[in-house]
Amino acid sequence: MWRRIWTLFKTRNHEFFRDKSALGWNFVFPFLIIAGFGFLFGDNGKTLYKAGIIRTEVSETASMNLSSNNLKFEIFRKTNFIEFIDFKSKDAAIEKLRHHRIDFLINPDSGKYWVSKSSPNGYIVEKLFHASFYDKPETFIKQTIKGREVPYVEWLFPGILGMNIMFSGLFGVGYVVVRYRKNDVLKRLSVTPLKPYEFLTSQILSRMYILLTTTFIVLAGCMLFFKFENRGSYANLFIIFALGGFSMVALGLIVASRSSSEEFAGGILNLITWPMMFLSEVWFSLEGAHPLVQQFSKLLPLTHLIDGARKIMNDGAGLLDIKYQVLMLTLMSIVFLVTGSVLFKWQKD
């Protein structure tokens, strides 16, 4: 028995080490993750909270009268792990606060500050703000946010749905087709009358059916049990989910087009999913992040999927309001689908 176990153990090890792509990926992937996090958070460490600052032009006399508040604000600004972001427009800054892209908003020139009552981070920053004046009388006045505030859980919910679509679309096609090729299923299909486009079409349609069905079941269940609201049209929500899901399936098709190694395909899929999870605002906003990071996030289909879904579900946006997201997802889907179809091969190289 132990001889058979030892033989299988050595065989599996030899199989893995002969797969140079998978072996190399196991060394390269951790370095890429560390490098990415180092670029994102390497300057001043990880910032836990984001505070917006409204800068307005005031007269010299008014500036002298408000110098005390400005001095107090400078004390608060020295707090570690809070990133301070300048805004020129009060309305734009409050809109960011309402949608949890920043946690706290202050205008040191007018002595006013805003915080969302539904934001856990905002509550902590407000406490830190008060604590910075423990030995000085506080003169800042708390302001209420006009209009409807978006609860944090409702802001987060579209991101969770988008992440679920991403995993289902990428791994449902990318990993499965690679396994078919490795097990010679595709080789057998290649000698049948089945055409490549017929096979790919069936895989895409099957995955889209499963992806959309499970997404709307999860959506309905969460709305029933957690009382979430969809303030937009369900037809528009279906369109953005369908386009986002199709772009993910088409992207997975590129990964599956040539590879016959499940380990290598899994590594590539992880390389795709990890940046999208962190850079597509699933969990947190990229407000105030490095401009290169913000520009790179716009190249990710998950960014446009979540952005469009949030506008529909949280703000009741119409199809014209998300035309940019629809256009980007459509273009990405076409590029991914054409690339994956051209590269596709039945058999191993």
- Angle subtended at Cα 78 by Cα 75 and Cα 81, rounded to the nearest 5 degrees: 140
For the cut 50, the answer to whether the pLDDT of residue 231 exceeds it is yes
Q: Which amino acid is at 58?
A: V
Please name which of 80, 79, 109, 83 lies closest in space to residue 96, comparing C-alpha atoms.
83
Q: What is the pLDDT of residues 205-222, one digit of tens each?
A: 888 888 898 889 888 888
- Are the C-beta atoms of 273 and 167 separated by less than 8 Å? yes
More confident residue, 218 or 309: 309
Q: Which amino acid is at 181?
A: R
Q: 308 vs 143, 278, 292, 294, CA distance in Å? A: 30, 17, 22, 17
For the cut 70, the answer to whether the pLDDT of residue 79 exceeds it is yes
Rg of the chain (C-alpha set): 25
Please name which of 145, 73, 45 lies closest in space to residue 103, comparing C-alpha atoms.
145
Across 91-100, 122-131, 145-154, 304-313, the highest mean pLDDT is recorded for: 304-313
- Are the C-beta atoms of 317 and 331 separated by less than 8 Å? no
Helix (H) or strand (E) holding 49: strand 49-54
What pLDDT is recorded for position 59? Answer: 42
113 forms beta bridges with: 106, 142
What is the domain partition of the chain in residue ranges? 49-143, 152-343
82 forms beta bridges with: 49
What pLDDT is recorded for position 57? Answer: 57
Residue 343's φ and ψ, nearest 5 degrees, are -80, -15
Q: What is the separation of C-alpha 291 from the centre of its chain, rounded to a whole number of angstroms?
A: 16
Please name which of 242, 233, 227, 240 lies closest in space to residue 316, comparing C-alpha atoms.
233
Rounded Cα distance, 336 and 250, in Å: 5
- How many H-runs (helices) and E-runs (strands) does the chain carry? 14, 5
Give the CATH number of domain 49-143; options: 3.10.450, 3.40.190, 2.30.29, 2.60.120.
3.40.190
For the cut 50, the answer to whether the pLDDT of residue 174 exceeds it is yes
What pLDDT is recorded for position 151? Answer: 82
Range of lowest pLDDT (36-45, 266-275, 308-317): 36-45
Encoded tokens for 94:
């409050």
For the cut 70, the answer to whether the pLDDT of residue 129 exceeds it is yes
Range of lowest pLDDT (73-82, 146-155, 333-342): 146-155
What percentage of the chain has pLDDT greater than the value 70? Answer: 80
What pLDDT is recorded for position 271? Answer: 85
327 forms beta bridges with: none
Residues 6+ apart with CB under 8 A from 141: 111, 112, 113
What pLDDT is recorded for position 38? Answer: 55
- Full-prediction pTM beyond 0.85? no
CA atoms within 13 A on the CB side of 44: 12
